[in-house]
Amino acid sequence: MSLVDYSVEGAVGRIMLDRPPVNALNGELIGDIDAALAAAEEPAIRAVVITGKKHFAAGADIKRFVDAFDSDDPEPQASGLGAVVKRLEQLEKPTIAAISGYALGGGLELALGADFRYMASDAKVGQPEILLGIIPGAGGTQRLRRIVGFQAAKEMIMSGRQVAAAEALELRLADKVLEPDDLLAIALEDAAGWATGPTRAYWAVKKAMGDGFGHSLDGALEIEREVFEEVFATADAKTGILAFVGKEKPEFAGS
């Protein structure tokens, strides 16, 4: 992973993108992110922070688009990035994207795969693909509208404009806006808090809400029921319930 620094602090995995100057997403960086996410699937890792050195990720490496004109695949990076975003989204533990600098195009799509997005106060995000005559190809048209709503997402994508942190917070695209010097420390601190919780129950929330989206109410409720039954059988469920009855603080093992 020459373009990604993957480290572990306690039960938190930290994925740091490091392809100067702006973490433009090429095939090698996408592959390294995928490898880091694979490492973070280890059960001992119970929360993940993904971030970038100076910038989160300022989109795709546009120079590669020129080569794609003569390729059978019109945008060979989109499918690879889409799979990586899905892998992040489906991690069975809480995830935080700590966004400094720019998260544009594929960079924002990557951040949309996290459960929560923390932004530095001077950060900017957006889907500027329309300015190149194309559209997001790694989930931006779908995940963004699920977070900010249909019309707000359409306006952002069709204008290609950059959204500042304060507006992102209003749109609920950002969960927290922090001073740049505090961003990573607070993200890691919050992740450490998530890492002490009932990891399988967090997974159950993600699965029930994610899989239930777009279904009829009855269909979504059936998904919720199935996931509830699965998580109710976990060791952490027993720990939490018995601790509540005994008026004690539960110590979740993440299983």
The domain that holds 70 is classified in CATH as 3.90.226.10
Residue 221, C-beta contacts closer than 8 angstroms, at least 6 positions apart: 212
The active-site residue, picked from 129, 155, 222, 229, is 129
Q: Which of 28, 30, 21 is nearest to 137 (CA)?
A: 30
Please report the pLDDT score of residue 236 as a whole number: 95
232 and 167 housed in the same domain: no
pLDDT tens, position by position, 146-186: 999 999 999 999 999 999 999 999 999 999 999 999 999 99
* Final residue before a domain boundary, out of 151, 173, 194: 194
Distance CA 231, CA 221 (A): 15
Per-residue pLDDT band for 193 (boundaries 50, 70, 90) equals very high
Q: CA of 24: how far to CAs of 165, 171, 181, 200, in Å?
A: 20, 25, 23, 34
In a domain, 93, yes or no: yes
Higher pLDDT, 78 or 92: 92
Q: What is the mean pLDDT of the chain?
A: 94
Please report the pLDDT score of residue 65 as a whole number: 67
Domain count, the chain: 2
229 and 156 housed in the same domain: no
Higher pLDDT, 68 or 195: 195
61 and 76 housed in the same domain: yes
The active-site residue, picked from 9, 28, 92, 109, is 109
109 catalytic residue (yes or no) = yes
Expressed as residue numbers, the domain containing 218 is 199-245
129 catalytic residue (yes or no) = yes
pTM: 0.93
Distance CA 146, CA 112 (A): 10
207 and 181 housed in the same domain: no
Distance CA 202, CA 207 (A): 9
- List the CATH number of the domain containing 228: 1.10.12
155 and 210 housed in the same domain: no
Per-residue pLDDT band for 62 (boundaries 50, 70, 90) equals confident
